[in-house]
Amino acid sequence: MGALVGAALLVAAGIGALGTAPATAAPDGATPLGRIVPAPAKVTPGGSAYEITAKTRIRVDDASKDARRIGGYLADVLRPSTGYRLPVTDDDAGDGIRLELSAKDKALGAEGYRLTSTGRSVTIVAHAPAGLFHGVQTLRQQLPAKAESDSRQSGPWLVAGGTVEDSPRYGYRSAMLDVSRHFFSVDKVKRYIDQLALYKINKLHLHLSDDQGWRIAIDSWPRLATYGGSTQVGGGAGGHYTKAQYKDIVRYAASRYLEVVPEIDMPSHTNAALASYAELNCDGVAPPLYTGTEVGFSSLCVNKQVTYDFVDDVVRELAALTPGKYLHIGGDEAHSTSHEDYVTFMNRVQPIVAKYGKTVVGWHQLTEATPIKGALAQYWGLDGTSAAEKAQVAAAAKNGTGLVISPADRTYLDMKYTKDTPLGLAWAGYVEVQRSYDWDPGNYLPGAPAAAVKGVEAPMWSETLSESAQVEYMAFPRLPGVAELGWSPAATHDWNTYKVRLAEQAPRWDALGIAYYKSPQVPWNG
């Protein structure tokens, strides 16, 4: 694309103001409208800024519980730092912050919103609650970073004047947390959910089982959790979620408009299950628990009926805990399962997922079998993946299989940034911040139709990670970039302007207690 055409597109997308200008505030001290992550689809700056004061009320539609809940959420974010009462009221006439659900604004879709800021009010209009919630995230980012503080700060609390009209490029914008290699408590998962919500991520993929640990209680096979969940990489105590705890995670995620996508990885990555129940093994002998980090050595016994009884029970119980649409069945790295057995297994398991009303998601090896109608394949290849493997996934996409794009050498948040990164792995290479951002999910997989791409994911594998601070160091600053690839129009994509907006997020992470990697590629101090 020529530079002039590129610039014209940026202006057409309404983000000319995001250009290469230095990271200075607008004349009235407010963050320039739209200078947020992910970049909004359309920004029309103008008019005077709105100021949140001690008198500000949050006005919601009295008919909507969702709008009231989102108003309460916004008040909870802003009360500690501003010190204001910010009452949520259903008296929806008057000045202040207004959250409106509009049946007629269908063009805003399931997740879009319009934010209008004037001297008297900030109004967020959406067609659906998720859009209101995303609009609230935009409002948060337009306020000074210290608005995120949990102690009282001094204002002024200005929101630049103008209008943002915004809706996502993709409906599937996911982050994965591997709670198997190391177990993460409910509170740690909630903390991550809050961070994902700030960047408009709408799926939390939980990798609930692997060789090192089974993390979800299944009543019909209780030893999966009590024994199979009793350790982790390195031999620590591990853990598992009771059904009540898991429902708590699902509910919390839903309150932040994230859908939980649970994964039971099969037929390999199953040592924790095989260790818990001898009958799942072809030789009837249970292996010991495993606390190392090798992959691909375990396999369910494909030719035993009990295997499918087991899968049926697990999928039934997990589906019952899952209000969301998707259930992920893994299917990666089945190195100790023959190709024939793998195909048999995946083709038998997919209808079980469908029987319990869920849509299949699998790692892209699923395309070696026959993806069921409506299935999504999660592409995790890298530049070096063979042309044949890429072609196989592309062929499935041409046949109607949807794609979630999560290239290991772009979006794997567990990859080291450089050789000096103290945490993480390097099998897919080093992934610095620019590399993780500077690509296009729409044309990433050669031969796959753009329409097959449903979205992106940033997986966080946890072989080397067990604490929130470690997860955050690997996620920030790469996660916001993947979130932007999922949300923002391709026409806004530009590393040179993105890196400036990204740098402007850092004071917000400081206020939130997120210790991020200070990549030399990002101009942190303007």
Contact set with ligand TNX (CB under 6 A): 295, 332-333, 363, 380, 412, 414, 425, 461, 463
Nearer to ligand TNX by Cβ, of 328 and 508: the residue is 328
Q: Which is nearer to ligand TNX, 221 or 363 (CB)?
A: 363
Residue burial 417-454, b: 16+ Cβ < 10 Å; e: rest: beeebebbeeebbebbbebbbbbebbebbeebeeebbb
Q: Output 18 or 334, the one with its CB closest to ligand TNX.
A: 334
Question: Among residues 380 and 498, whose Cβ is nearest to ligand TNX?
Answer: 380
Distances (CA, A) of 117 to 97, 125, 162, 164, 241: 9, 12, 5, 9, 43
Q: Please give the C-alpha separations between residue 404 and each of 222, 447, 486, in angstroms, as whole numbers.
A: 32, 15, 10
Contact 300, 345 (CB under 8 A): yes
| Amino acid letter, residue 195 | Q
Q: In the complex, what is the shortest distance from the CB of residue 232 to ligand TNX, in angstroms, rounded to a whole number? A: 13
CB of 400 to ligand TNX, least distance (A): 22
The rounded distance, in Å, linking the Cα atoms of 98 and 52 is: 12
241 close to 312: Cβ distance less than 8 angstroms: no
From the CB of 329, what's the least distance to ligand TNX, in Å? Answer: 12
Residue in this structure with the two tokens 């969940």, named with its chain if needed: 229
* Residue 111 annotated among the catalytic residues of the structure: no
CB of 340 to ligand TNX, least distance (A): 21
Sign of the CA dihedral 487, 64, 319, 354? Answer: negative
Rank residues 248 and 333 by Cβ distance to ligand TNX and give the closer one: 333
Q: Is 331 exposed, middle or buried (0-12, 13-18, 19+ CB in 10 A)?
A: buried
C-alpha to C-alpha distance for 104 and 61, rounded to whole angstroms: 15
Residue 43 DSSP label: E
**Looking at beta carbons only, is 165 or 409 nearer to ligand TNX?**
409
Among residues 148, 263, 317, 333, the one annotated as catalytic is 333
Q: Considering the complex, what minimum distance in angstroms separates the CB of residue 88 from ligand TNX?
A: 43
Please, what is the minimum distance in Å from the beta carbon of residue 373 to ligand TNX? 23
Beta-carbon neighbour count of residue 457 at 10 Å? 26
Contact criterion met (CB below 8 Å) for 170 and 202? no
Least gap, CB of 413 to ligand TNX (angstroms): 9
Q: How far is residue 272's CA from residue 181's CA, in Å, rounded to a whole number?
A: 11
Least Cβ distance, residue 410 to ligand TNX (angstroms): 13
Report the C-alpha gap between 87 and 84 in whole angstroms: 9
- Measured CA to CA, the distance from residue 139 to residue 21 in angstroms comes to 21
Residue 44's contacts (CB-CB under 8 Å, 6 or more residues apart) are 14, 33, 162, 163, 164, 165
CA geometry: angle at 522 spanning 189 and 382, to 5°? 65
The contacts of residue 244 (CB under 8 Å, 6+ apart) are none
Cβ at position 177, least distance to ligand TNX in Å:
12
Which residues lie below 8 Å from residue 314, measured CB to CB, with a gap of 6+?
218, 221, 224, 264
CB nearer to ligand TNX: give 295 or 503. Answer: 295
The Cα diameter of the chain in Å comes to 74
Residues 6+ apart with CB under 8 A from 264: 208, 209, 314, 315, 318, 327, 328, 329, 330
Name the residue nearer to ligand TNX (CB basis): 416 or 508.
Answer: 416
Is 134 or 203 the residue whose CB approaches ligand TNX more closely?
203
Q: Which residue is nearest to ligand TNX (CB)?
A: 332
Q: Which active-site residues does the annotation give?
A: 333
